[in-house]
Structure 1
Amino acid sequence: MLIDNIRLFLTITEKGSLVAAGREAGLSATTVSERLAALEAHYGVVLFNRTTRKLSLTDEGRTLLSGAKLVLGEIEDLETRIRHGADTLSGPIKVSAPIDIGRSIVSKVISRFTTENPAISIELLLSDGYVDIVGQGFDLALRFGTITDSTLRLRNLGHFRRIVCASPSYIDAHGAPQKPADLAQHNCLIMRFGTTLDNVWRFGTDKKPQTVTVRGNKTVNDGSLVRQWALEGCGIILKSELDVAPDMEAGRLVALLEGYAPPANPLQMMFPPGRAQPRRVRALATAIGNAMIARES
């Protein structure tokens, strides 16, 4: 019963409420509340701060969350090895990725991975904004840039440039900027990453950096949509080479200001704190990492 209650605790954490967890588990909210109370009584601690609108993990709850995922993962791996043999992978994996590379790269890796491992189930959530990996129960996540959370485990997947680019139709109509300052005269399509507006574009080397605050008539929190607007000739974008390389190779987008390109940006794979990931998570992480290495080379 303790293991079942810990599983339910994870569901509450991921869904954010007792009612939503009950729907997911097929239990009444009363039953969920009683089993959470039993788990807290077992450990002698409070696992959630409760308000009328929100549940949030206490420090003890966060400790249980990180440890529980490891323990339950090991139990599932053990059951798989006993029932189906040592080489079989099974169980759920929850993944977060930026929208564009999630659609173009990660989704393809997942398709191959689940075909090769039919007992695996994967939930992929695409977002260009901030994601609470621990609080939302992700097993791994991909993000560009420097990660400031020192508690997360990181694996660097390579460095990729951000490229200023536009469609040939936009360039024919408005001309091409010759230096970063010229962007002030152009319509720039701007990304929003969570609460951060990506309207300060950086150029040059670390020793000679330049920044330009750009403006435009469209802002969106979806990297795929901002790319589509650029393809339609609506303006200039700043995107990772992973997102726009096929369009540039096909001539649908043209790179601009190449002589002012900033240093490449790291792509990080992040894992929640803990001693080790279940075998299925390690296997998927390796498959995604190999796909990114192939793109970098």
Structure 2
Amino acid sequence: MLIDNIRLFLTITEKGSLVAAGREVGLSATTVSERLAALEAHYGVVLFNRTTRSLSLTDEGRTLLGGAKIVLGEIEDLDARIRHGAETLSGPIRISAPIDIGRSIVSRVISSFTADHPEISIELLLSDGYVDLVGQGFDLALRFGAVTDSTLRTRSLGLFRRIVCAAPSYIASSGAPLAPADLTQHNCLIMRFGTTLDNVWRFEAGKKPQSVTVRGNKIVNDGSLVRQWALEGHGIILKSELDVASDLQSGRLVALLEDFAPPPNPLQMMFPPGRAQPRRVRAFAEALNSTMAVKGAG
């Protein structure tokens, strides 16, 4: 019963409320509350700060969350080895990824991986903003740039450029910037990453960094939409080469200011703190790493 209550605790954490957790596992909110109370009584601590409108983990709850994912992962791996043989992988994996590469690269890896390992189930959540890896119960997340949370474990999937580009129709009507400062005279389509507005674009000229604050008539938190606007000729964008490589090769988009390109950004896999990932997560990470190694080589 303790293990079942710990699993329910993880579901409450992932869903953000007792009602949503109960709906997920087919229990009433009253039953979920009773089982959470039993778990708190077992440990002699409060696991959640509760108000009428929100539910947040206490320090003890965060400690349990980190340890519970490891313990339950080990139990599921052991169960799979006993039931299906040592080479079989099974169980759930929750992944967070940026929208564009999630729809393209990550989705293809998932399709191949689940075909090879039919006992695996994967939940993919796409977001270009910040995610709380531990609080939202993710096993793995992908993000560009440096990771500021030092408690997370990281693994680089390679270095990739961000490219300033626009459609030929935009260039025909508005011209092309010849230097980064010219961007202030252009309509730039701007991404929002969570609470951060990506309107300061960075460049390098002769190893000297420079930045330009850009403006435009469209801001969005969806990488696919900002790319679509660019393809339709609405303005200039700054996107990872992974997102626009096929558009540049086909001529649907044209790279701009290439002489001023800054150093490439790392694409990172992030994992929750703990001793080790379950075998299924390690195996998926290897599959993703192999795919990205080919992309980087290309």
TM-score under structure 2 normalisation?
A: 0.98
Deviation at 1:172, TM superposition (A): 1.0
Q: How many angstroms apart in 1 are the aligned matches of 2:70 and 2:246?
A: 39
The corresponding residue for 1:218 is: 218
After superposition, the CA RMSD in angstroms is: 0.9
Amino acid at match of 1:26: G
Query: What is the match of residue 169 of structure 1?
Result: 169
CA–CA distance in structure 1, aligned partners of residues 48 and 290 of structure 2: 39
Cα distance in 2 between the residues matched to 1:225 and 1:182: 24
Distance in 1 (CA, whole Å) between partners of 2:104 and 2:92 is: 22
SS in 2 for 1:46: coil
Residue equivalent to 1:49: 49
User: Residue type of the partner of 2:263?
Assistant: P
| Matched residue SS, 1:209 | strand
- Paired residues of 1:190 and 1:199 also in contact (CA < 8 A): yes
Q: Displacement of 1:25 after TM fit? A: 1.0
Unmatched 5+ stretches in structure 2: none
Q: Give the Cα–Cα distance (whole angstroms) in 1 for the partners of residues 33 and 104 of structure 2.
A: 41
Q: AA paired with 1:38?
A: A
Distance 1:129 1:208 in 2: 29
Once the two structures are superposed, the pairs formed by residues 89-128 of structure 1 within 5 Å of their partners are: 89-128=89-128
Q: Secondary structure at the match of 2:129?
A: coil
1:208 corresponds in structure 2 to 208
Q: Percent identity?
A: 82
Shift of 1:68: 0.4
1:121-170, CA deviations, whole angstroms, 9 ceiling, x for partnerless residues? 00000000000000000000000001110000000111100000001111
Contact 1:205 1:263 in 2 (8 A): no
| Matched pairs, number | 297
Distance 1:60 1:291 in 2: 38
**Residue range with higher mean Cα deviation, 197-206 or 181-190:** 197-206
Which whole-Å CA distance do the structure 1 matches of 2:81 and 2:184 have between them? Answer: 60
**Are the aligned partners of 2:129 and 2:193 in contact in 1 as well (CA < 8 Å)?**
yes
Map 1:27-46; keep pairs closer than 5 Å.
Answer: 27-46=27-46
Q: 2: CA distance between counterparts of 1:24 and 1:225?
A: 31
Which amino acid in the other structure matches residue 158 of structure 1?
G
Q: CA deviation at 1:205?
A: 6.0
Q: What is the letter of the counterpart of residue 270 of structure 1?
A: M
SS class of match (1:243): helix
Give how far 1:206 is off: 9.3
CA distance in structure 1 between the aligned counterparts of 2:25 and 2:242, rounded to whole angstroms: 38
Q: Show the 5 A alignment for 1:148-297.
A: 148-204=148-204, 207-297=207-297
Q: What is the CA–CA distance in structure 2 between the aligned matches of 1:283 and 1:224, rounded to whole Å?
A: 28
- The alpha-carbon deviation at position 293 of structure 1 amounts to 1.0
Shift of 1:207: 4.7
Q: Does 1:64 align with 2:64?
A: yes
Q: 8 Å contact 1:204–1:260 — kept in the other structure?
A: yes
TM-score normalised by length of structure 1 = 0.99
